[in-house]
Chain A
Amino acid sequence: EVQLVESGGGLVQPGGSLRLSCAASGFTFSSYWMHWVRQAPGKGLVWVSRINTDGSSTNYADSVKGRFTISRDNAKNTLDLQMNSLRDEDTAVYYCARYYYGSTGYYIDYWGQGTLVTVSS
């Protein structure tokens, strides 16, 4: 069974930092691209970042570029998101998500349960 379990969320002051982690199990982690997607309270889904299978290629939403860094450890089956210079508008539930990239299409097929990040003074 595919499982994605996020951790590391919490309350942080504006300008602060937080590191989110996602523990993956039930599949060959090193074979899948991975994403972070966030959802502000009561709002819709917003893509944040993605990383390829070996970590050599990453992409970011303009709103987080230069502040957030996505990384992975295929030996430990973990995905991380280092978030610096946090702003009020970064307050959201952050989801770790597995990405299928193959002959039948491109799509996020599994999501974690999410971890809440609250940026407030």
Chain B
Amino acid sequence: DIQMTQSPSSLSASVGDRVTITCRASQSISNYLNWYQQKPGKAPKLLIYTASTLQSGVPSRFSGSGSGTGFTLTISSLQPEDFATYYCQQDYVTPLTFGGGTKVEIK
């Protein structure tokens, strides 16, 4: 199975900060990498697919980059509604695997 490793596991940031979350795959997954946001008690929500394509309706402050084994999710200016847990997920091979999550908290 492909292991997905996210870092950091949690971070504290202020509104307006630039936030970067990294995700590393245990082997190359080309650009088959998706990012999800999950708020407490809610289902995950797709933010970015194929590493860098913004899902319809997602604010442009979210962006993704990377290919192969290294990927990043960037929030250019953190907003109050962005405090949540973020997961990366590879869709290169079955089983689909998720990173352990990054919890973004208010500083």
Residues of A near any B CB (own CB < 8 A): 35, 44-47, 50, 59, 61-62, 95, 100, 104-114
Q: Which residue of A lies closest to B92 (CB)?
A: A106
Check A59–B43 contact: CB distance below 8 A.
no
Q: How far is the CA of A46 from the CA of B99 in the complex (A)?
A: 9
Query: Could you give 24 example pairs across A and B, Cβ below 8 Å?
Result: A44-B100, A45-B36, A45-B44, A45-B87, A45-B89, A45-B98, A45-B101, A46-B98, A47-B96, A59-B94, A61-B95, A62-B95, A95-B44, A104-B50, A104-B53, A105-B91, A106-B91, A107-B46, A109-B46, A109-B49, A110-B46, A111-B45, A112-B43, A113-B42
With A105-B50, A107-B49, A111-B44 given, is the CB distance from A44 to B91 under 8 Å? Answer: no
Q: How far is the CA of A104 from the CA of B50 in the complex (A)?
A: 8
Interface string of B43-59 (1 = CB under 8 A from A): 11110011001010000
Q: Would you give the shortest CB distance from A78 to chain B, in whole angstroms?
A: 18
Q: Would you give the shortest CB distance from B70 to chain A, in whole angstroms?
A: 18
Q: How far is the CA of A110 from the CA of B55 in the complex (A)?
A: 11
B34 contacts the other chain (CB 8 A)? yes
Q: Which residue of A lies closest to B96 (CB)?
A: A47
Check B97–A47 contact: CB distance below 8 A.
yes
Q: Would you give the shortest CB distance from B25 to chain A, in whole angstroms?
A: 15
Check A47–B49 contact: CB distance below 8 A.
no
Interface string of B26-42 (1 = CB under 8 A from A): 00000110101010001
Q: How far is the CA of A109 from the CA of B97 in the complex (A)?
A: 16
Check B43–A111 contact: CB distance below 8 A.
yes
- Name the B residues within 8 Å of A61 (CB-CB): 95
Q: Which residue of B lies closest to A93 (CB)?
A: B43
Q: Would you give the shortest CB distance from A71 to chain B, in whole angstroms?
A: 18
Check A59–B95 contact: CB distance below 8 A.
yes
